[in-house]
Structure 1
Amino acid sequence: MNSLLRVLFSTITVAVLYLQANAQTNTFEVRIANHAVGTIEANRKLNGGAKSIIIKTRIQIMLSKINSDIINEYSNNVLTNAKSSRISGKTGEDKQTTTRRNGKEYTIMVNGEKSVIDNAEIEECVADLYFAEPKQINRVFSETLGRFLPVKSLGGGVYELILPEGKKNVFKYENGTLVQVEVNHTLGKAVFVKIS
């Protein structure tokens, strides 16, 4: 009986460790003018060739709330579905974007406007930047904007993500782990700092 309990305990321990090794959560504090205004929780799950990433952003600035969610699904390291939603309290700047793979093309809907990307396999998205340094990557797909954005290495684990209007978000990595993001937003400059 004792050996049966040991085997059962060992099996459960291995299963729990395996699940934890294939799930990762990174939490960032959002700061504006050096004041904490919200959090970003980035969660990634790996299961063989399948991957899912969920990023939840919750920000409150005075009387205004911004809730943003990104949900990506990948098969064999290729994006199959992405959904991005942003709900802004008083500003009314709500945004919904969906990206779906259909054969060798992607159908993208941004606030009801449809576009198509032909002959593409999207392997890297903005959400992936929260989990891995973009070494040897020169562009990522923006789940929110529904288009590719250039990524430029500045050296020393620092990368610029160049937005369509020319603004730049700066991602800083230490030993391959994202530790800080500087974002130039309509509300001003925001900094995301990894807290766990």
Structure 2
Amino acid sequence: MKSLFRVLFSVITAAVLYLPSHAQTNTFEVRIANHAVGTIEANRKVSGQAKNIVIKTRIQIMLSKINSDIINEYNNNVLTTAKSSRISGKNGEDKETTTRRNGKEYAVVVNGEKSVIDNAEIEECVADLYFVEPKQVTRVFSETLGRFLPLKSIGGGVYELILPEGKKNVFKYENGTLVLVEVNHTFGKAIFVKVS
């Protein structure tokens, strides 16, 4: 009887410890004016009903460094928390945004300014674009800006993310995998190219 209990305990422990989880890492090289200036490492881990996405951007342009981190947590494919931070060095503009689900609303704090998004379930964020082609998606939540942005398919696996000031970031997919992003920043156009 004791040996049967030990065997059952071992089987149950192994089943719990080795629940299926899936991890994926995509790495992009950041290029400005055809020069490599940094990297983006996008990690996604899915375990049961939980999903976690971490995106780390490290850019160095001459004497200026930009470090940006996004951390998203989801439960049942719905965003529960998002944290975005950008540290831009001596003369840059630092930014911090947090988004937390509270019942049927989200509390958003952008650089200390609070707002609320009522009656919403955020299912797609900008971070998700690094892992899944957004077929049938017309808007995504920006963890950095703390608001929804329109997303438009222009065909052939190419999508435009429309920013509040009217600029457009372009996401290009091949066979459902993100291979290139064109970003229009204040310092010019940057291109993110998938390297692994």
Same fold (TM over 0.5): yes
Stretches of structure 1 that go unaligned for 5 or more consecutive residues are 1-10
Q: TM-score with structure 1 length normalisation?
A: 0.90
Asked if 1:149 is matched to 2:149, the reply is yes
Q: Distance in 1 between matches of 2:50 and 2:182?
A: 30
Q: Say whether 1:70 aligns with 2:70.
A: yes
Which residue of the partner structure matches residue 61 of structure 1? 61
1:68-147 matches, within 5 Å, as 68-147=68-147
Q: Does 1:158 align with 2:177?
A: no
In structure 2, the residue corresponding to 1:144 is in which secondary structure?
coil
Q: For residues 6-25 of structure 1, what are the structure 2 equivalents within 5 Å?
A: 19=21, 22-25=22-25
Q: Per-residue displacement from partner, 1:92-147 (whole Å, max 9, x unpaired)?
A: 30000000000000000000000000000000000000000000000000000000
Consecutive aligned runs of 4 or more in structure 1 exceeding 3 Å deviation: none
Measured in 2, the distance between the counterparts of 1:94 and 1:88 equals: 6
- Would you say 1:193 and 2:193 are equivalent positions? yes
Q: Which amino acid aligns with 1:48?
A: G
Match of 2:5?
none
Q: CA deviation at 1:78?
A: 0.2
1:8 is matched with none
Q: What is residue 182 of structure 1 aligned with on the other side? A: 182
Measured after TM superposition, the shift of residue 45 of structure 1 is 0.2
Q: What SS does structure 1 have at the residue aligned with 2:172?
A: strand
Cα offsets for 1:70-94 (capped at 9, x unmatched): 0000000000000000000122300
Gaps (5+ residues) in structure 2? 1-13
Q: State how far apart, in whole Å, the 2-side matches of 1:186 and 1:91 are.
A: 14
The equivalent of 2:51 in structure 1 is: 51
Amino acid in the other structure paired with 1:131: F
Percent identity of equivalent pairs: 85
Deviating more after overlay: 152-161 vs 85-94? 85-94
* Residue in 1 that maps onto 2:38: 38
| CA RMSD after TM alignment | 1.2
SS at match of 2:127: helix
Question: Which amino acid in 2 is paired with 1:111?
Answer: N
Tell me the TM-score normalized by structure 2. Answer: 0.90
